[in-house]
């Protein structure tokens, strides 16, 4: 797992892996072998090169605060696996967008009507495929311009379902 961790204006790349029962961290290209144990109430005991460090970790969505004998540090965590904020995703989608069926199935319910205003990730319709019901969600905020299907309609892969603008 590769993360970037920042504290104030300093940022390091951290690669975490396991080898021979020990955990290995590579910090800016330098390998460090360590072991750790989680203690009650968010405390950890870390062993690095025969030295023991005890500290408290408080995690939030994109940062952590580490408190030890020498004080506290809050660090930002940048994880490439974490989805980017929705507003950045929406910024790349402009104009009319036509939604098509990803697989053959049957439209079970249409949740919107033409002219409805929808938000990103809002349910638009339910498609049953391979005995599973899948909610098709809006890839962006916008207005439903055209709906080509009704409940009970069988659709094939690539068939036009509806459009958003």
Q: What is the pLDDT of residues 105-135, one digit of tens each?
A: 999 999 999 999 998 888 999 999 878 888 8
Mean pLDDT in the chain? 81
Average pLDDT of span 92-99: 76
Would you say residue 15 has pLDDT above 50? yes
Q: Residue 1's pLDDT band (boundaries 50, 70, 90)?
A: low
Q: Give the Cα separation of 158 and 77 in Å (integer).
A: 39
Do residues 156 and 101 make contact, with C-beta atoms less than 8 angstroms apart? yes
- The structural domains of the chain, with segments of one domain joined by +, span 2-79, 90-164
Percent of the chain with pLDDT strictly greater than 90: 22
CATH code for the structural domain at 90-164: 2.40.50.100
Under 8 Å CB-to-CB from 124, ≥6 apart: which residues? 99, 110, 111, 112, 118, 135, 136, 137, 138, 144, 161, 162
Do residues 164 and 145 make contact, with C-beta atoms less than 8 angstroms apart? yes
CATH architecture of the domain with residue range 2-79: 2-Layer Sandwich (3.30)
- Model confidence over 100-109: pLDDT tens digits? 988 889 999 9
pTM, to two decimals: 0.46
Would you say residue 17 has pLDDT above 90? no
Average pLDDT of span 32-43: 79
């Amino acid at each position: 797992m590769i993360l970037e961790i920042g504290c104030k204006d300093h940022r390091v790349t951290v690669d975490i892996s396991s080898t021979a029962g020990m955990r290995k961290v590579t910090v800016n290209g330098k390998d460090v072998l360590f072991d750790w144990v989680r203690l009650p109430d968010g405390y950890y005991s870390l062993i690095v090169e025969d030295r023991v460090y005890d500290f408290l970790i408080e995690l939030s969505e994109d940062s952590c605060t580490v408190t030890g004998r020498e004080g506290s540090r809050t660090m930002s965590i940048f994880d490439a696996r974490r989805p980017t904020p929705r507003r950045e995703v929406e910024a790349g989608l402009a104009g009319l967008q036509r939604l098509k069926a990803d697989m053959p199935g049957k439209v079970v319910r249409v949740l919107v009507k033409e002219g409805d205003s929808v938000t990103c990730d809002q349910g638009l319709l339910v498609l049953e495929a391979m005995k599973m019901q899948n909610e098709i969600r809006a890839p962006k905020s916008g207005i439903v311009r055209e709906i080509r299907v009704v409940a009970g309609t069988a659709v094939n892969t690539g068939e036009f379902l509806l459009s958003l603008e």
